[in-house]
Amino acid sequence: MNIKRLQSFFRKEFRHILRDRRTLLILFGMPLAQVLLFGFVLSNEIKNTNIAVLDQAKDAESIALTNKLVSSGYFRIAHTLESARDLEPAFRSGKVKMAFVFSPGFGHQLAHEGVAPLQIISDASDPNTATTLLQYAQAIVQDYQLALAAGQMAGRATIQVQTRMQYNPEQKAVFTFVPGVITLILMLVSAMMTSITIAREKELGTMEVLLVSPLQPLEIILGKTSPYLLLSLVSTVVVILVSMGIFGMPIRGSLLLLAMECILYTFVALSLGILISTRAKDQMTAMFMSALGLLMPTMLLSGFIFPRESMPWALQVIGMAIPATWFNPIVKGVMIKGVGLEVLWLETVVLAGMALFFLVLSLRNFKDKLE
């Protein structure tokens, strides 16, 4: 290992990165865009959802409940319907996400029989949003019911069921997405960019010249990967700062632990990138291999977007082999729950094992490919 030789190499690598606008965009533009998109789009959608109301009762109780729904801030009446036939067109046009149907004599039934039907119809073409909205609506209805019961039957003991969303009471989507975006960025930058940049040297023929030079294979790998390690960590800090500043995302746990875990995960990603680059002979192949082999599974199977619990067992097993599956709970744990290694030791050990395994495998592969 020769520090001076490495220095010249680092300088060259940074120049490549800084002179390529596309690389800079992927390094810094994409992560920012992702956090802002996930944060704003998902949190706005939950507020002021357009609803339709078909009030066939028009009595004090149905109007009171409707007002309560609107005053919650979650819902906004976009349509006041006159007949059940208008329901279908309202949904189909996409103008409303949810409809509330009060049957005739709603208040009367409630007062005299104690039970009154209220139909809530939601547009489940977007199931995640539908479920969330339904939960809000149910909570509001229940609230109303309790207030009603308290007024009518004062003094009688009622069991109050209280639900609370632990750690993320407002259910801010950005809280669940920031950790996901971090796993995605580190994988994208470290693995994909590394594999592309090494494949590029192969494609252009400069790799041959480097291999004929006194540079050791390990020095070449270090020279190619360290700048990306540094930049991906910078990018992660930017994402975390933005999510703290704009969305009020907390870091409840140890900052040092978070940083160490990010570095550990980056090592896994870097070695995967090197592994891909030993197989891919040009930049295109490297890009497709990392997009299909790393990014897609990270997005789809790691629990970033879709909950792992609801996947078929075969996919859950495959998900176990994906580094992000182990890294995601770590980021969430440290940032949102504020827990430390006493809880996250298993995930950390698995990640460390993966880092070691892929690092050895990729180094060996890199040397073999020279032959």
Partner 1 sequence: MHNDIISVQKLTKKFGAFTAVDAISFGVQRGEIFGFLGANGAGKTTALKMLTGLLTPTSGVATVAGYDVIRYPDRVKQRIGYMSQRFSLYEDLTVRENIRLYGGIYGLPKAEIREKSAQMLSKLELKAQADTLVGSLPLGWRQKLAFTVALVHDPGVVFLDEPTSGVDPLTRRQFWDLIYEAAHQGVTLMVTTHYMDEAEYCDRVSIMVDGRIEVLDTPRQVKTQLGVQTMDEAFRVLARPQTAIS
Q: How crowded is the C-beta side of 363, counted as CA atoms within 13 Å? A: 13
- Which residue number, 2 or 131, has a Cβ lying nearer to partner 1? 2
| 11 or 279: CB nearest partner 1 | 11
Of residues 7 and 135, the one with the C-beta less far from partner 1: 7
The answer to the question of residue 366 lying near partner 1 (CB under 8 A) is no
Helix (H) or strand (E) holding 175: helix 173-186
CB of 275 to partner 1, least distance (A): 21
Site string for partner 1, 276-315 (x = CB under 8 A): ----------------------------------------
Among 114, 155, 205, 307, binds partner 1 (CB under 8 A): 205
Considering only 1-9, 62-70, 153-161, 277-285, which stretch makes contact with partner 1 by CB under 8 A?
Answer: 1-9
Give yes or no for residue 161 binding partner 1 (CB under 8 A).
no
Find the helix or strand (DSSP H, E) in which 47 lies: none
Q: How far apart are CA 206 and CA 349, in angstroms?
A: 38
Rounded to whole angstroms, the Cα distance separating 14 from 260 reads 24
Considering CB under 8 A, how many residues would be counted as binding partner 1?
25
- 20, 88, 143, 282: which one contacts partner 1 (CB under 8 A)? 20
208: contact with partner 1 by CB under 8 A: yes
Range in contact with partner 1 (rule: CB under 8 A) among 16-24, 50-58, 79-87, 176-184: 16-24
Question: What is the rounded distance in angstroms from the CA atom of residue 117 to the CA atom of residue 105?
Answer: 10
* Cβ closest to partner 1, residue 19 vs residue 156: 19
Q: What's the closest the beta carbon of residue 221 comes to partner 1, in angstroms? A: 15
Q: How far apart are CA 227 and CA 247, in angstroms?
A: 29
Rg (the chain; Cα; Å)? 27
Residue 28's nearest CA partner among 197, 199, 191, 231 is: 231
Candidate list 25, 211, 284, 349; residue touching partner 1; CB under 8 A: 211
| Using rule CB under 8 A, residue 12 touches partner 1 | yes
Binding partner 1 by CB under 8 A: which of 155, 169, 214, 245?
A: 214
Find the shortest distance in angstroms from Cβ 27 to partner 1: 16
List C-alpha distances in Å: 353 to 225, 301, 324.
20, 20, 14
Phi, psi of 113 (to 5 degrees): -105, -15
CB atoms within 10 A of CB 191: 32
CB contact at 8 A, 75 and 91: no
Q: Cα–Cα–Cα angle for 108, 110, 113, nearest 5°?
A: 95
Beta partners for residue 81, in sequence order: 54
Beta carbon nearer to partner 1, 211 or 292: 211
Interatomic CA distance for residues 141 and 162, integer angstroms: 13
Per CB under 8 A, does 218 bind partner 1?
Answer: no
Q: Choose, by CB under 8 A, the member of 41, 153, 209, 349 that binds partner 1.
A: 209
Q: Name which of 227 and 319 has its Cβ closer to partner 1.
A: 227
Asked if 368 touches partner 1 (CB under 8 A), the answer is no
Helix (H, G, I), strand (E, B) or coil at 254: coil
Q: Which is nearer to partner 1, 7 or 138 (CB)?
A: 7
Backbone angles phi, psi at 95, to 5 degrees: -75, -25
Examine residue 118 and tell whether it contacts partner 1 (CB under 8 A).
no
Q: Three-class SS of residue 52? A: strand
| Residue 171 DSSP SS3 | coil
Summarize as ranges the residues that interact with partner 1 (CB under 8 A).
2, 4-5, 7-9, 11-12, 15-16, 19-20, 204-206, 208-215, 370-371
